[in-house]
Structure 1
Amino acid sequence: MQKILLLAFGLLFFLLPKAALASHIVGGEIQFYSVNAATNRYYVGLNLYFDAINGRPNAETPTISLYFFRKSDNATMGQIELPQIVRRNIVYTNTTCREINDLRTLSMVYGSEITLNTDSFRDPAGYYIVWERCCRNNIITNIVNPAATGETFHLQFPALVRNGQPFLNSSPRFPELKGDYACVNRPFIFDFSGKDPDGDSLVYSLTRPWAGFSTASNPGPIPRASSAYPEITWASGINDLNIIPGPRPLRINPRTGVLNVTAGQTGLYVFAVAVEEYRNKVLIGVVRREFQLKVVDCPSNAIPVALFREKGKTAFYKETETIRIKLDQPRCLDILLTDLDPNQRLTVQTKALNFGDRMLTISPNSFVTRSSTDTLKATVCFDPCVQSQNNQPIVFEVIVSDDGCPQPLTDTLRIRAIIEPTPVGKPRIVTDLPNGRATVAQGTTLSFKVTGTSPENTDLVVSGLGRGFQLAQAGMTFANATGKNSVTSPFNWTPPCAATGREYVVDFLVTATVCNGQARDTVSVRLNAIPRPNNRPRVSTNITTSQPLAVDEPNGTNKITFEVYADDLDRDLLQLFAKGVGFDLRASQMKFDDKTGPPRLVSVFEWAPDCKTLETLAGRNLKVSFTAQDNSCGVAGVDTLSVAFQLNSLPTAKALENIPNVITPNGDGKNDCFFVENLPNNTCGPQFERVDIFNRWGKKIFSSTDRTFKWCAEDVPNGTYFYGLVFSNQTLKGTLTVLK
């Protein structure tokens, strides 16, 4: 079930039931790490080690509660109850050793995922998590009154929000510890390290364990906030630098977290390690880990021995020597193994120090001694590619281990050997380009093959390189190829325009590799690109007449339209465009889309001029030039075709002549009516609107909008009359005499 950690203000806590007086805790640590940053999900847990032999079963609880505090003022942030999710025996390096020394330790993990309100965890000083419990094993040697001394588990973590942004961090992750014990006066090594999920730096140091505030009478109190938890009291002769006394007291490597000790007396010793977490050299978290180490008086155990003797020699190899393995000699060495203890299982392994571990094998790798005088043999063999470079020795170790308790005893034999390298046969590279030269016309393709060969079963790489240029920039394609014995790769070149006018040198290289040795061969080709002969493009139209195109006055439907074509025998990329000769196409309402692309190009010319345009251009002969241009190398090919347009002059009212000034309406059929011939019937220019006739008193007696009007002076007497011919741009006035 999802758990949410709330702010602690006004939070009610419950008391855990008091456990019976117990002597059970071996050690452990708290863990706190991000599970899903997007949803603020975290894992919180306690890894607890429990003495399954000396501890009391009723001291084990199904749940525990961890408490969160703020460092700056020790304010309580909240608590979380965690169920037990793992319960198992911890493993030992040698599983039979725990039976000999009556050791059995339980690993119990309490943990759960929770959702945190990260906005509540933004204090720059950070926070800490605590769990307290009493009591420790009553057989602990190096502290006072262990059966009544509690243990405090503690983890510090940084603010989860910094500068308004989420600050992602996880505490170090620690593998389950082993339950090995140490022997008096025998070196003992114990890996106490962890790994940081965020890649932060970890620094390890021994520190005094904390007793905390739990007591024998109150073994499971609600943890208190504190900046200085009570510490345990060391027993007589024990101090922070002498936690496990002996020829070599307990120490820890601050970088690796590996503990080592040579204890001087038996006992059960508790110790604590502070693991500091640094990011960008700034301390952001600390987790305290505790454990205890049992030191016993072990039976004597002889150290196994690894020896080597070169063939033909009587003396054994000394580590100050260097052996030499020649090309014609076997690439295997016989290693001799001995152990004074009978019935010991010996395990042997190799470690390459300046070459790959996988290039070294040993067989067999496991033996059982039958007597103290047994001499066993293991054979070390080198991969064919293990060889010395520049006469420098390769270095490796043979490590033999027994199965003694609590940890195997080992002997390491370091051997230096100069292994003569295998010579690499010279490869050969050729092309099938005649004489290694070629001249290529632009736009055409040159192809040939490049082949690299080797006399041996070697790895080959064939590559190509332009001398002073990149192959792709010059339009060349060549893929590097790999293989064994023989490798072929094609070369192709289709020169672009930019490639003409210079020589190109391409170097082809074959590299043969045998292990770490290489041999090469090179062949070069010289290439030139020249322009291709260019056919001039051609521009044409679908106009069927050679005469200028007549431009009519607009009537709403008439327009000039035709297609323009651009062709090229070479199929070069073409441009087709139009230009008015002495005028602007678009300003004159002509429409034509310039085109670019491979032939054939087609574009439509359209012109439907309005009156305003015709008035501007009336009476002119216009020409439009249509041009096709290719993009061939060198001088571009061009063709131009002109189309002419004829525009008539627009009629004007001033051009009217022979307007009559006398009529004789007497019925003789001659000059009986007033009319005007050739009145303009156009849509552009001056347009006839009407005619008005007035008597001498200014009264309108006749009006018509018909351009074919006739006024025959019916019902009017003889006399002088006045007319007005009204046009769109002016009115022509005159007198008319009527004689009957």
Structure 2
Amino acid sequence: MFSTLLRRIGLLPGLVLFLLGLGAAHPAQASHLLGGEMTYKYLNANGPAGNTLRYEVTLIVYNTCVAANNGLIRSSYPVGIYMQDSGAKLNLTTANNSSASGGNMYVQEVSSRVCTTPNVPQGCAIPAVQQPYIKQTFVGIVNLPNTEVGYYAAWTWGARNRNIVNIGGANSEQYDLGLYCTLAPPTLPNSSPQFVRDAVANICQGDTSYILNNAVDPDGDELVYTFGNPYTSPAGYSNQPPPSPFIAPLPLIPFTNAGYNVLNPLGVPATFPGTYASVDPQTGICKYKSTAALATLYVVAVDVQEYRRINNRRVLIGTTRRDLQLIVVECPPATAPGLPTSTGGGSIPRNYTIEAGSTLTIPLTASQVDGHPLVMTATSVLLDGPGGYDGTLGGNAGTLIAGTTSGAVSINGPNGNVSGNFVFNSACANARATPYDIVLT
């Protein structure tokens, strides 16, 4: 079972560090999309004349593995670009994007196609069904005219897989998957938060499951997490970007019936006793419990809002959407791993303030009473590998996660115990008033 190992650590003036913790109507053959997310990076203003602003757009799509056998896996996708104030669609050419066609930019596949099953804790076996998936990452660079208002990048495609109980039941494949992101203007140089875990997950039948939907923000902006309503494409615009004008958001998919809503995507407790869903607004940790039959599928949307202090005002910079799928599985009985809340010297701090140029060492230990083998994984921009930030876990500087600025380190522990020191040797250039995230699972 998935369980919370650690919560958060933060520092303020000089250097800031947060520790988060967690644990555990289309043709039928076209119903293959499980979820996804769209993010962007502002690169610079060194583009060609008339299109000086350079943005990198990243689209992540999760497909069913059978899609590969049906020829439904694509090597590129069209993405529309729109003015944020009017919604007017830009007619892009190869001057804007090297692969542009039909007025759209194209993002190209940069990942390998591997059929993967949702993460299962080491030493556990989940019988019966799971939801294997292929995760694809697409990237494209677009050059755009200077603007004071910013742009939208939008993508829709068909179709979602069948039998998603909360958005149409047996007819859920009639709905497309839709995503968009807000490209901030150069006066607010910004890059989207980046999710650190995949968007397909098991939840245990009749037991509480904790799923991490935390994101790392490269700009250090404040992040707030909420549930959202899944998107689809505008009527008549499947398998292509929305028409002009595009007025955010994309069309909302109606929930199956009154038993489901945005705040209760797995079902209203009065209608489905024993079922609930929640998301921690600060950490992105989602807590789910479902009493539905095994192999029941749900779609859940998690929104991450970016806030930045500008002239002493809290300003919303943009919102990043993760559309993910959950499947109900049978989990073996197990006691969740635990993190000590205190040491011999007192309680373990969750917030640290250090002076730039000093070293911070945090001893981390987790245990499991049944003696199951444990794996502790830390994910952070501070673990971006040799030559980057000088952070380590267990002496390991980390390995970059493809498509992100974050790296990860894993430590194995036999017999129900795992431990390691997180060490950050800070430099003067690392000082900032906003937090660095560390995600521990």
TM-score by length of 1: 0.38
Q: Distance in 2 between matches of 1:192 and 1:101?
A: 23
User: CA, structure 1 residues 366+171, in 2 after alignment: closer, same or farther (shift >3 Å)?
Assistant: same
Task: State the one-letter code of the partner of 1:260.
Answer: K
The answer to whether 1:273 aligns with 2:278 is no
**Structure 1 position 287 matched with structure 2 position 345:** no
Partner residue, 1:251: 278
Deviation at 1:23, TM superposition (A): 1.1
Change (3 A) 1:111 1:249: same
Residue ranges of structure 2 left out of the alignment (5+ in a row): 1-25, 48-52, 93-103, 268-272, 347-365, 377-392, 395-411, 420-440
Provide the residue aligned with 1:58 in structure 2.
71
What fraction of aligned residue pairs are identical, expressed as a percent?
Answer: 24
Secondary structure at 2:195 match in 1? coil
Q: Structure 1 CA distance, aligned partners of 2:256 and 2:281? A: 25
- Write the letter of the residue equivalent to 2:286: L
Give the 5 Å matches for 1:457-606.
Answer: none
SS of aligned partner of 2:251: coil
Cα distance in 1 for residues equivalent to 2:286 and 2:42: 29
Matched residues in 1 for 2:152 and 2:342: separation?
54
The match for 2:156 among 112, 124, 132 is: 132
The Cα of 1:177 is off from its aligned counterpart by 0.9
For residue 272 of structure 1, report the CA deviation from its aligned partner: 0.7
User: Equivalent of 2:166, from 142, 150, 154?
Assistant: 142
- The 1:26/1:293 distance shift into structure 2, 3 A limit, reads same
The 3 A distance-change label for structure 1 pair 321 and 248 is farther
Compute the displacement of 1:305 (Å). Answer: 9.2
1:103 matched to 2:135? The reply is: no
Task: Using the TM superposition, give the Cα deviation of residue 209 of structure 1 relative to its aligned residue in structure 2, in angstroms.
Answer: 0.6
In the TM superposition, residue 28 of structure 1 has moved relative to its aligned partner by 0.9
Paired position in structure 2 for 1:82: 107
Structure 2 CA distance for partners of 1:293 and 1:110, relative to 1, 3 Å: same
Residue 292 of structure 2 aligns with an amino acid whose one-letter code is Q
**Which residue does 1:605 correspond to in 2?**
none
In the alignment, which of 182, 196, 215 is matched to residue 194 of structure 1? 215
The reply to whether residue 263 of structure 1 matches residue 290 of structure 2 is yes
Q: Determine if contact 1:173/1:195 at 8 Å carries over to the other structure.
A: yes
Output the CA distance in 2 between the equivalents of 1:321 and 1:33.
41
Spell out the pairing of 1:706-725 with structure 2 (5 A cutoff): none
> Could you tell me how far apart the structure 2 residues matched to 1:302 and 1:258 are?
20
Following superposition, the deviation at residue 103 of structure 1 comes to: 2.6
Do the aligned partners of residues 68 and 183 (structure 1) sit closer, same or farther apart at CA in structure 2, a change above 3 Å counting? same
Q: Distance in 2 between matches of 1:323 and 1:109?
A: 46
SS in 1 for 2:288: strand
Cα deviation, 1:17-68, whole Å, max 9, x if unaligned, reads: x998511111111121023455544311211111114786322222111101
Measured after TM superposition, the shift of residue 323 of structure 1 is 11
Contact 1:34/1:43, CA 8 A, preserved across alignment: yes
Deviation at 1:321, TM superposition (A): 13
Aligned to 2:141: 113
Letter in 2 for 1:238: Y
Which residue of the partner structure matches residue 60 of structure 2? 47
Q: Partners of 1:176 and 1:189 in 2: how far apart?
A: 13
- Aligned partners of 1:44 and 1:149: how far apart in 2? 24
Query: Is the partner of 2:58 in helix, strand or coil?
Result: strand
TM superposition shift of 1:264:
2.2
Deviations 1:591-628 (A, max 9, x none): xxxxxxxxxxxxxxxxxxxxxxxxxxxxxxxxxxxxxx
Q: Could you list the runs of 5+ residues in structure 1 that have no partner in the other structure?
A: 1-17, 307-318, 325-334, 350-356, 359-363, 369-377, 381-407, 409-740
Q: Is the 8 A contact 1:263 1:295 kept in 2?
A: yes
- The whole-number CA distance in structure 2 between the counterparts of 1:109 and 1:42 is 16
Instruction: Provide the rounded CA distance (Å) in 1 between the counterparts of 2:160 and 2:128.
Output: 23
- Shift in alpha-carbon separation, 1:97–1:58, aligned structure 2, 3 A: farther
Q: How does 1:266-415 map to 2 (within 5 A)?
A: 266=293, 267-280=296-309, 281-296=314-329, 298=330, 300-303=332-335, 339=370, 345-347=372-374, 365-367=413-415
Q: Give the match's secondary structure for 1:152.
A: strand
Q: Does 1:180 align with 2:201?
A: yes
Q: Which residue of 2 aligns with 1:67?
A: 80
Q: How far did residue 367 of structure 1 move?
A: 2.8
User: 1:64–1:83: 8 Å Cα contact kept in structure 2?
Assistant: yes
CA, structure 1 residues 204+321, in 2 after alignment: closer, same or farther (shift >3 Å)? closer
- Cα shift at 1:268: 0.5
Residues 167 and 254, structure 2, Cα contact 8 Å, conserved in 1 = yes
The count of residues paired between Structure 1 and Structure 2 equals 313
Give the letter for the 2:287 counterpart. N
Instruction: Tell whether the 8 Å contact from 2:335 to 2:368 is kept in structure 1 after alignment.
Output: no
Does the Cα contact within 8 Å between 2:374 and 2:418 map onto a contact in 1?
Answer: no
Is this contact kept in 1: 2:210–2:288, CA < 8 A? yes
Q: Deviations over 1:373-429 (max 9, x none)?
A: xxxxx899xxxxxxxxxxxxxxxxxxxxxxxxxxx9xxxxxxxxxxxxxxxxxxxxx
Q: Any idea what SS the aligned residue of 1:147 has?
A: helix
Alignment partner of 1:345: what SS? coil
Report if the CA contact (8 A) 2:200-2:325 is conserved.
no
How far apart, CA to CA, are the structure 2 residues paired with 1:211 and 1:179?
18
Matched to 2:65, the amino acid is A
State the secondary structure of the residue aligned to 1:221.
Answer: coil
Shift of the 222–261 alpha-carbon distance from structure 1 to 2, 3 Å rule, reads closer
Other structure's SS at 1:142 match? helix
Amino acid at match of 2:263: L
Matches within 5 A, 1:595-674: none
What is the deviation of 1:226?
A: 2.8
Alignment partners' CA distance in 2, 1:243 and 1:211: 16
Q: Quick one: which amino acid aligns to residue 40 of structure 2?
A: F
Q: TM-score, normalised by structure 2?
A: 0.61
Once the two structures are TM-superposed, the CA of residue 301 in structure 1 deviates from its matched residue by 1.3
Q: C-alpha offsets along residues 78-100 of structure 1, whole Å, 9 cap, x if unaligned?
A: 42112211133456244775774
**1:309-349 deviation per Cα after TM superposition (whole angstroms, max 9, x unaligned):** xxxxxxxxxx999999xxxxxxxxxx99754xxxx734498
RMSD: 4.1
User: Are 1:241 and 2:274 an aligned pair?
Assistant: no
Structure 1's 98 and 220: CA in aligned 2 closer, same or farther, altered over 3 A?
Answer: farther
Which residue of 224, 229, 234 maps to 2:250?
A: 229
Specify the structure having the higher radius of gyration (Cα). 1
**Structure 1 Cα separation of the partners of residues 278 and 42 of structure 2:** 32
Map 1:142-181 onto structure 2 (within 5 A): 142-144=166-168, 145-160=171-186, 162=187, 167-177=188-198, 179-181=200-202
Aligned to 1:232, the other structure's residue is in SS state coil
Match of 1:24 among 32, 48, 53: 32
Counterpart position of 2:239: 220
Cα distance 1:67–1:345, how it changes in 2: closer, same or farther (>3 A)? same
CA distance in 1 between partners of 2:29 and 2:315 (Å): 42
The answer to whether the 8 A contact 1:21-1:135 is kept is no
Q: CA deviation at 1:300?
A: 4.5
The secondary structure found in structure 1 opposite 2:71 is helix
Cα distance, 1:111 vs structure 2 = 0.9
What is the Cα deviation at residue 178 of structure 1? 5.9
2:43 to 35, 42, 49: 35
